[in-house]
Amino acid sequence: MPRFDSRIRVRASAARVWDVLSDFGRYAEWNPLFPSVEGSLADGSPVRLTLKPPFGRRVELRGRIARVEPERALVLQTRMAVPGLYRCRSEFRIETEAGPEAEAVRLHHLQVYGGVLLSLVAGARGVKMREGCFALNLAVKRRAEDRDWKTWPRARG
């Protein structure tokens, strides 16, 4: 199964990174890969999200929140409407760094794909999907490191 695994250092507290990841209502403002997520932030709750891959049009996915650990982990399991065609596990782990800079964390982002339509994320498109994952990581970093992001006006649309 194709998988994309990355880590990025964020100069912000775990609480601030968690605020960014868990505020589904503001994803349209900053998230280049998942511009829309609807659902309650609770283990097992249903979720609907829009995937905007860097190589194509938006895809509507459904699934559930597999795990919520505030300030530590968020895991979503999604699929297309037709079971077996496409599935994805999106995992975000926030790891507090030890050392002199207490206000820094490492965000670990893992995407694991499966299903018959694996060609969506394989080959050249796989490279583009990896770029989308890195863009998401950079967007989380930028948002969390900006101390004023919560005062920004909400996106309309």
Return averaged pLDDT per consecutive 10 residues of the chain, 157 residues in all.
Answer: 86 94 93 92 95 80 95 93 81 86 87 73 59 88 82 49
- For residue 54, give Cα distances in angstroms to 121, 128, 148: 11, 6, 28
Range of the domain at 123: 3-146
Within a domain: 151: no
Identify which of 83, 78, 102 has the alpha carbon closest to the alpha carbon of residue 10: 102
pLDDT of residue 157: 39
Q: Is the CB of residue 100 less than 8 Å from the CB of residue 3?
A: no
Within a domain: 152: no
Helix (H) or strand (E) holding 20: helix 14-22
pLDDT of residue 118: 63
pLDDT of residue 144: 93
- For residue 23, give Cα distances in angstroms to 83, 86, 113, 138, 150: 28, 26, 24, 17, 10
pLDDT of residue 122: 56
- Look up the pTM and report it: 0.84
Within a domain: 34: yes
pLDDT of residue 155: 47
Instruction: Give the side-chain half-sphere CA count within 13 A for 7.
Output: 10
Within a domain: 142: yes
β-bridge pairing 87-96 and 73-79: antiparallel
Within a domain: 156: no
Directed axis angle between helix 14-22 and helix 123-145, to 10°?
A: 120
Count of structural domains within the chain: 1
Within a domain: 157: no
**Which domain CATH number covers 13?**
3.30.530.20
Q: What CA–CA distance (Å, rounded) separates 145 from 9?
A: 11
Q: Helices then strands (H, E): number in the chain?
A: 3, 7
> What 3-state class would DSSP assign to 97?
coil
pLDDT of residue 131: 82
